[in-house]
Amino acid sequence: MRTYLIDYGRTSYELPVLLEWKFSYGCALPCDAFEISFVFDGTMLEMLTNAVRFKAEFDGETVFFGTVDDFEVSVSENGCIAAVSGRGLAALLLDNEAEAAQYYSASLDMILEKYVYPCGITNVRKNVSVPQQALVVDSGASMWKVLEDFVFFGSGVIPRLTKDGVLIIGEEAGNSFTASGKTAVSKQVLKRKRYGVISEVLVKNRALGSSQTVKNTEFTEIGGNCRRVVNVPRKTRYDAMRSTGEYQIRKSKADELLISLSVPSVFKVFPGDRLELTESPLGVSGEFYVKRTVCFADGESAGTEIILTKEY
């Protein structure tokens, strides 16, 4: 693997062989993250101080591109070691707050021009047509929240960034894999939860005296009972009220069923891919989405933890 730190002038510095590394990937939030360490010498201090971006390549493919958050240099009996950590490019939208605003007919291009491109994300793939719509931006909302609300309420999808820093708007098919009883898996874990899963959302527009109820019928049919009440601004459209309820339910269902597989290979599977699980000792089978992955390596082992879910 080859890794690079890039400064604000776009000068790239190739790093020495890493002692340890961990790359965490998720479809949207929490933000992708990286942690690396390598042998340090005094000539690297200026480079570390000026670094704003990090890039990792494996077999000629970019497997991580993101922002540098911090670094630490330590001297001990283990030698002189530098540790650097950071996040994926979604951090650029999460860290920047928007001013309060109200739009009666906003377009996707306008949202990108005002809330995405100025933060440094310019590579965008649009796989869905998002209609023009009214949008209320609360003071202090992150740029990510503005984009996420606009895209979800308009088209029912959640934007995400790829491992190489491309913003995806709309569904995009990933790779497909199969894991059977013959697949090298060192650990398998199944977790199902009921706590926090919403059975019903009552969406209210108190200014207009209107309301709408959205139900999670799959959960209520197995005894689920967790109601939420959400108040929306006066200008919220009726269809946006329903989307608000659907969004709350979808978020609550995200971790209802999680399956974790630990495999000895790295950079084979990423969020958005699909995995067909068969002959699992957990007693489950079928097609699952890859929700998160964590690739790691140190002086003793290397591998990937793959977190699967039924909901994308």
Rounded mean pLDDT of the chain? 90
At 56, the pLDDT band (50, 70, 90 cuts) reads: very high
Tokens of 252: 């609550």
Q: How many CB atoms lie within 10 A of CB 17?
A: 9
Q: Is there a contact between 253 and 267 (Cβ–Cβ < 8 Å)?
A: no
Strand duo 200-205 + 210-215: pairing: antiparallel
Place of tokens 């965490």: 24
Per DSSP, 116 falls in state I
Looking at per-residue pLDDT, the higher value among 282 and 40 belongs to: 40
Q: What is the pLDDT of residue 246?
A: 84
Instruction: Tell me how long the chain is.
Output: 312
Q: Which of 88-92, 220-224, 248-252 has the lowest mean pLDDT?
A: 248-252
Token duo for residue 182: 């013959």
Which is nearest to 21 in space by CA: 89, 75, 83, 108? 83
**Does residue 312 register a pLDDT over 70?**
no
Domains contained in the chain, CATH given = 2-88 (2.30.300.10), 93-169 (3.55.50.10), 176-192+256-309 (2.40.30.150), 200-252 (no CATH)
Checking if the pLDDT of 267 tops 90, the result is yes
Please say if the pLDDT value at position 29 is more than 70.
Answer: no
